[in-house]
Every structure is written in C-alpha cells, then in structure tokens.
Amino acid sequence: MIKIYHFPNTRGLRAIWTCEELNVPYQVEMIDFSPEYRLSPEFLRISPIGKVPVLQDDSITMAESGAMVHYLIDKYGNGKLRPETDNPKYPTYLEWSWFAEATFTSSASEIIRHKRAFPDDINAEVINEFKRRATFCLNALMNFLADKKWLLGERFSGADIMMGIALTTYARHVAEPFPPIIQNYFDRLSDRPAFLRTKQAES
Ligand SMILES: N[C@@H](CCC(=O)N[C@@H](CS)C(=O)NCC(=O)O)C(=O)O
C-alpha cells in the first residue's frame, strides 16, 4: 500500500488529498518533525534533504509533493484530475501546479525559514519583503481565477490540489485576509469531501 510520511499541516496534505480524490488506499506515517530526527541517517535514507512529505509505492520513493500529485494522478487517475497532453488546458495545468510550489509557496516558506533560522533576531523588513512577494503571487492567482470555478474552469484538477495547500501556507504564515475571489475559491476547495477526509486523516 502507498505510504505517505507526513506531519500535520504540511505539504503531505497534497499527496493525501490526491489519494482521497482518487479513492486510492494509502497509509499515513506521522514522523517526528524535530530536526534531530529529520536529519538522522534513518530519515535521510528516504528523504535526501530531511523534509516531508515522502511517498513510497512499492519500490518507488519520492520526496517532492508536486511530483507525488502528478505521479498519483498519472498512475492511478484513469484520466481523472488532469487534462490529456493534447488538451489545450494541459499547459495551464502544469503551469499553475508548478507556480503553486515553486513561486507562490517558496515566498511564504522564506518567512518560515527566516523565523526558524533567526528566532532571536527576526528582521521585520525580511518578513515584509516575503509577505509582499507572496501577496503579489496571490494577486496574480486572483486575476487568473476571476470568475472561474477551478484553475481549469469547470474541471477540478491536480493544479487545484497544489494551489489549495499553497493557500493554506499563505493563510498561516503571511496571515493576511484573502480577497473575495480567493476566499470563495478556498471555500470551494475546503468544502470538497475529499479535502475534509484529508484533514481527518491527519488528526
Ligand atoms: N518543495 C518541497 C518542499 C518540502 C518542504 O519544505 N517540506 C517542509 C514541510 S511542508 C519541511 O519538511 N520542512 C522542514 C525544513 O525545511 O527543514 C515539496 O513540495 O515537497
């Protein structure tokens, strides 16, 4: 069975949510999130830089949440949660999936890293700069979404799973209110039964 190494409220939610949307059985292994454990030889054997999530499926071990989402959809989706490669929406699916982690979440993550690295010397200018960058990304998302239901329009996809967790990171660490278009999108994501089951799986 698929095993997802996870810690509450982290990016492992993407892999769990994808399994829930696809009804793929999985088990969650909650890890000790202390730096001591994450950087121990035991954990570094499965996660080369000591981060979660990690996904194991038979002989496959992966440590990058977006790759897990696409892998699960490609392997187990039977056409669900993604457009085919010849569909004009396929580039959009890839673009916003990557944007969610590589550009949007990375700005919010810098806030977490700065606070963790310099707990006694938190620099408000650094925090504000990364909040500004994350909010610039949020505005780009808002302009793209406009009146769309999901990133691909009427069709929910893995790109929305990627973005949904990016939005939870923004809410927790940038901690600015969402504008209405984003709030409505976030509410639609949060109301999905598979998302509700995902949250239960980590409690
Ligand atoms: N791009 C990676 C980021 C992984 C990542 O930063 N995970 C966080 C939890 S969400 C973590 O383990 N942080 C511990 C650390 O940075 O040392 C992914 O999407 O899987």
Domain 2-80+196-201 class, CATH top level = alpha beta
CB-neighbour burial class of residue 50 (10 A; exposed 0-12, middle 13-18, buried 19+): middle
Q: Per residue in 4-51, pLDDT tens?
A: 999 999 999 999 999 999 999 999 999 999 999 999 999 999 999 999
> Which residue has its alpha carbon closest to ligand 1 atom 12?
51
Q: Ligand 1: which of 5, 11, 13, 113 to mutate, most ligand atoms within 8 Å of CB?
A: 11
How do the domains of the chain map onto residue ranges?
Answer: 2-80+196-201, 90-192
Could you name the CATH architecture of 90-192? Up-down Bundle (1.20)
Q: The whole model's pTM is what?
A: 0.97
Q: Dump strand ranges (E) for the chain.
A: 2-6, 26-30, 54-57, 60-62
